[in-house]
């Protein structure tokens, strides 16, 4: 069989989509006789008829319909390949590996990502969620291209872009504390169960992240699990403001922050994309 060309497949697709040789010829900037000859040569090369010519309009034969369906897939793939080649030639990334850290507000961060990929549809996204020091570990090791996480002060290896500030508030369920929240101190809180997030890094950093020395702890995998544990009165812990604002307003949680026992703020940002985080 004589090899087919993309030009022939495009002619076939144009005739099918437009319905007539004349309309297809106009859409391709070709002449009616040229398309007629091209289709005849194509059918001869294939060894079967693509169209039933017995009626006023060309209609695909059963074999022609099956062949056209496969031809459409080839054309779609070729168009995508050409677009991808142009994407690479323009110097754009073929893929981006992004980590969202545990303090990042997911709807906000995914909105930023959505806007970027809407403008760069050929870029493939590898997205993952990590906690505490893991995003920094992955970025330093070259395993990811970008992290959306809290700022790591004083590290000149990373470029950062400020996105927002996240305030961490020490909270507990009503009735969990055996004393008024206003009288909470480090020593008093040390006797109660603290809920903390497990560091997903291979080699976790030694930073304490508000963990009280000597306190009994429950460990969880993410902020939403931590919030639910605290709501159920199983422990207390520091939570991002955007996750507990409604619960504090509704009285489902109480803030333990006072002059002796403080929360904190963290800058959340971007290469790190970072978040401002205060403590």
Q: Tens of pLDDT along 125-153?
A: 888 888 888 888 888 888 888 888 887 66
Within a domain: residue 82? yes
The pair of structure tokens assigned to 130 is 């990590």
Q: If we measure between CA atoms, which residue out of 155, 107, 115 comes closest to residue 271? A: 155
Within a domain: residue 53? yes
Asked if residue 142 lies in contact with residue 262, where contact means CB atoms within 8 angstroms, the answer is no
Q: Give the C-alpha separation, 235 to 231, whole Å.
A: 8
Predicted model pTM: 0.60
What CATH number did the domain enclosing 12 receive? 1.10.10.10
pLDDT tier at 275 (50, 70, 90 boundaries)? Answer: very low
Domain that holds residue 41: 6-86
Within a domain: residue 80? yes
Within a domain: residue 204? yes
Residue-level length of the chain: 279
**Dihedral (CA of 66, 70, 71, 75) sign:** positive
- pLDDT, tens digit, for every residue of 249-265? 999 999 998 877 766 55
**Dihedral (CA of 253, 258, 260, 266) sign:** positive
Within a domain: residue 121? no
Tokens 């009994």 label which residue? Answer: 216
The pair of structure tokens assigned to 31 is 């002449």
Q: Give the C-alpha separation, 102 to 210, whole Å.
A: 15
């Amino acid at each position: 069989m004589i090899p087919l060309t993309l030009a022939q497949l495009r002619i076939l697709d144009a005739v099918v989509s437009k319905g007539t040789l004349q309309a297809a010829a106009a859409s391709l900037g070709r002449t009616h006789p040229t398309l007629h000859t091209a289709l005849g040569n194509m059918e001869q090369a294939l060894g079967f008829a693509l169209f039933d010519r017995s009626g006023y309009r060309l209609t695909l034969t059963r074999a022609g319909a099956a062949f056209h369906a496969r031809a459409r897939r080839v054309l779609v793939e070729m168009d995508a390949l050409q677009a991808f080649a142009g994407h690479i030639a323009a110097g754009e990334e073929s893929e981006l590996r992004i980590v969202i850290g545990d303090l990042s507000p997911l709807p906000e961060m995914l909105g930023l990502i959505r806007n970027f990929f809407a403008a760069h549809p050929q870029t493939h996204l590898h997205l993952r969620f990590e906690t505490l020091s893991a995003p920094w570990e992955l970025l330093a090791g070259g395993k990811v291209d970008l992290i959306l996480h809290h700022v790591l002060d004083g590290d000149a290896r990373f470029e950062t872009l400020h996105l927002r500030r996240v305030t961490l508030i020490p909270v507990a369920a009503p009735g969990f504390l055996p004393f008024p929240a206003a009288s909470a101190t480090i020593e008093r809180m040390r006797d109660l169960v603290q809920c903390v997030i497990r560091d997903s890094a291979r080699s976790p950093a030694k930073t304490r992240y508000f963990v009280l020395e000597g306190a009994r702890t429950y460990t969880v995998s993410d902020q939403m699990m931590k919030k639910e544990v605290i709501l159920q009165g199983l422990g207390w812990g520091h939570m991002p403001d955007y996750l507990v604002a409604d619960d504090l307003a509704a009285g489902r949680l109480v803030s333990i922050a006072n002059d002796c026992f403080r929360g904190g703020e963290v800058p959340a940002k971007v290469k790190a994309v970072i978040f401002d985080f205060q403590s």
